[in-house]
Chain A
């Protein structure tokens, strides 16, 4: 059976070039980057080479790069590391759980936390950020692009507010990396997290950018790795892979991959919505990262649609997965004040640079059929106008 993957915001496959770059570091170049001998030196060289690549990707200095185990660790290191009891933290209600749940924990640990609302299109208002600042505000954490809707947040405006008020600014750029140009100076952030596996590097590696002179307390205690900001032997093959992937992602952005993806995404969105009535795209009227569309189809259960499509070979995602793998109502759509029935009937399609015209054709063929079938069975849909006929 043909299988088409449209869940790049969940994870992406390794690119062959990334895999080839990593391969020797599993076997012959296996050293511990902290060792004195030649094996260690070779590993150290590879880690620092990757650090340079990532620094170029983010437009920062290599010394400002801290390798982590992924986006979640980067977000936790930023939030826990940059605040102390008594501090105030401003974040939003549409962050990834890595930020929201960390912030909730911080609220139990003596920090004051403000969760800002978003517009109906899922965007934070910088004026809300400004108004939330109080004398003890230490950190603002606002994501660069939302993982569920793709909505791009006004991080540069927020960076300017942070600079003006002397508050530190963290942005979770996990879903922006590889899709938008990343320039930490332009964003004006002190801390920025990215994750390897969203940009075709392996799972289990990520980066936290920590601007020079920004002090953070480590999460882990141990050796002096990463300038005492992250103890633990470096994930050598993962870091090498992330360095390579960052280099390719930067080239891709420069060479117009996002525009190509935008055309694919837009065609898919338009053609699906043209075939299916009583449907739409969330955050369609704001700037979105070019790979993501979150479509709602009234009068059906999103869970049934995700399963039906998967059984037909199309992998998309609905809501966010809870521990068991069951889907939970999306906190992002809830924050956008989308009615629960519509939030339950929303599916995220996310493309990667490996997505093809044929993949999109497949989705355009499968989705309207599956929607029509589910609506036929839906008691809520009975007696309504028939959906546009699908061949």
Chain B
């Protein structure tokens, strides 16, 4: 079989996107491999707490070499596209701002919205490829009865990445292939090995790509220092829900909702009664609100900056399952508009640690209805 359509494959140098390239190549597509160079891992290397070396990180040279080798093996043209300025502006700076204002951001979603499915699609079209293919675990199909592109959870639910993809527009979905949506990860590794890809057993990447070691506090320090800035003083009071001051904290960016450790209340009377958790962060007053595990359970959430996928807009009430962070078992809720571009979800069962800054993604079984950002 052969087809003359040109598809741009987003190649990260990992096993998933490499296997996508191999699969499409054997299906006869004309392929162009593209890697987005998003972040210079050497930029902060050697600053306090940051690793000296940058091996095995996303956007590291090793990954680019791996991707280049795969492209060579498959005999497809391959290019690295510099998007470092865009990534810093659209992902890293919002990430820093969110933490400094007491919220807990999801950089991977911002990256998907602004880089992978915006810049990459744009570059693909410019070089003559109308569609892109990525190694995300998700399914994507057109439903003629609804006249919409539908994003669905993958067959391998343990690798489900739809939480990070809720921001895709209909136009972006119509131009994107997710060939791995119907495969399980072990099968992908088998296919990679069968295709002769040397990286078939390369470990999965886990952490946020620009934060080696996963310690975002160290990153905030190093990033701001690199820009000649320092972390603003956001220290303040620890207060209970009734407004009682029970201690002080070192800065709101050190806390996230649901956090128990690091409150510095180990010996106090308040802590002795029952364990305390962060319930919320009041950025304007630099207050961290603490309380019991029970108080951490919330009956509802609000989200804004919405994007709808399987529906064009929300009318009345809709029964949905809501996922409030990547590793969260979706919870039943009733969804309705509470303001223009804002929804309220009322849970059937209270949910633990609803965290401002995270995404709320609404599902109907396997289908992604849409999502928004938790207020």
> A residues engaging B (CB < 8 A)?
301, 303-304, 307-308, 310-311, 322-328, 373-374, 377
Contact A325 B126 (CB under 8 A): no
By a CB distance below 8 angstroms, the chain B residues around A373 are 126
A326 and B127 contacting across the interface, CB-CB below 8 Å = no
User: Which of B64, B77, B125 meets A311, CB within 8 Å?
Assistant: B77
- B183 within 8 Å of A by Cβ? no
For B59, what are the chain A residues with a Cβ–Cβ distance below 8 Å? Answer: 324
User: Do A325 and B128 have beta carbons less than 8 Å apart?
Assistant: no
Chain B residues within an 8 Å CB radius of A326: 37, 80-82, 84
**Inter-subunit contact B126/A301 (CB<8 Å):** yes
Q: B108 contacts the other chain (Cβ, under 8 Å)?
A: no
Does B20 have its Cβ within 8 Å of any Cβ on chain A?
Answer: no
Against A, the Cβ 8 Å flags (1 = close, 0 = not) of B349-363 are 000000000000000
* 11 CB < 8 A contacts A-B: A301-B126, A303-B82, A304-B126, A307-B126, A307-B127, A311-B127, A322-B82, A325-B64, A327-B82, A377-B122, A377-B126
Q: How large is the interface on B (under 10, 10 to 19, 20 to 34, 35 or more residues)?
A: 10 to 19
Contact with B127, one of A304, A322, A324 (Cβ below 8 angstroms): A304
- Chain B residue with minimal CB distance to A308? B127
Against A, the Cβ 8 Å flags (1 = close, 0 = not) of B296-334 are 000000000000000000000000000000000000000
Q: Which residues of B contact A322 (CB under 8 A)?
A: 37, 82
Find chain B residues with CB under 8 A from A327 CB: 82
Per the bound structure, the CA–CA distance linking A308 and B32 in Å amounts to 11
Docked Cα-Cα span, A303 to B82, in Å, equals 8
B123 CB within 8 Å of chain A = yes
Q: Is the CB of A304 within 8 A of B123?
A: yes
Specify which chain A residues have a CB less than 8 angstroms from the CB of B82 in the assembled complex: 303, 322, 326-328
B64: contacting residue among A301, A307, A324, CB under 8 A: A324
Complex CA–CA separation, A308 to B8 (angstroms): 12
A323 and B63 alpha carbons, distance in the complex (Å):
12
A308 close to B126 (CB less than 8 A): yes
B52-85 CB contacts (< 8 Å) to partner A: 59, 61, 64, 68, 77, 79-82, 84
List A contacts of B123 (CB < 8 A): 301, 303-304, 307
* Smallest CB separation, B189 vs chain A (Å): 26
| Bound: A308/B81 CA distance, A | 13
CB–CB A323/B61 < 8 A: yes
Known: A324-B37, A326-B37. A307 touches B61 (CB 8 A): no
The residues of A that contact B127 with a CB separation of less than 8 Å are: 304, 307-308, 311
Q: Given the known inter-chain contacts A303-B82, A307-B79, A310-B77, please indicate yes or no for A324 contacting B128, CB distance below 8 A.
A: no
Q: List the 9 closest A-B pairs by CB distance, nearest first.
A: A326-B82, A326-B37, A304-B126, A326-B80, A325-B80, A324-B64, A307-B127, A324-B80, A308-B127
Q: A311-B32, A324-B37 are in contact. Are A303 and B81 (CB under 8 A)?
A: yes
The answer for the CA separation of A223 and B19 in the assembled complex, in Å, is 50
The interface residues of chain B lying within 8 Å CB-to-CB of A311 are 32, 77, 127-128
Q: Measured between C-beta atoms, what is the minimum distance from A373 to chain B in Å?
A: 8
A327 to B85, CA, bound (A): 12
Are A377 and B125 closer than 8 Å at their CB atoms? yes
A322, A323, A326: most-surrounded residue (chain B CB, <10 A): A326
Contacts of B32 on A, CB cut-off 8 Å? 307, 311
A304 to B80, CA, bound (A): 11
Rounded to whole Å, the gap between the CB of A184 and the closest CB of chain B is: 38
CB proximity of B109 to chain A, nearest CB, Å: 23
Task: Point out the residues of chain B lying under 8 angstroms from A323, CB to CB.
Answer: 61
CA distance A326 to B34 in the complex (A): 10
The residue in chain A whose Cβ has the minimal distance to the Cβ of B34 is: A307
Known A-B contacts: A325-B68, A326-B37. Give 19 more (CB < 8 A). A301-B123, A303-B81, A303-B82, A303-B123, A307-B79, A307-B126, A307-B127, A310-B77, A310-B79, A322-B82, A323-B61, A324-B61, A324-B80, A325-B64, A325-B80, A326-B82, A328-B82, A373-B126, A377-B125
In the bound assembly, the distance between CA atoms of A377 and B126 in angstroms comes to 7
Residue of B nearest to A321 (CB): B80
User: Which residues of chain B are within 8 angstroms of A301 by Cβ–Cβ distance?
Assistant: 123, 126
Question: Once the chains are docked, how many angstroms separate the CA of A377 from the CA of B124?
Answer: 11
Contacts of B81 in A (CB 8 A): 303, 307, 326
Q: B83: nearest residue on chain A (CB-CB)?
A: A326
A310 to chain B, nearest CB (A): 7
Q: Is B125 touching A325 in the complex (CB atoms < 8 A)?
A: no
- A295 and B297 CA atoms in complex are apart in Å by 62
Chain A's nearest CB lies how many Å from the CB of B56? 15
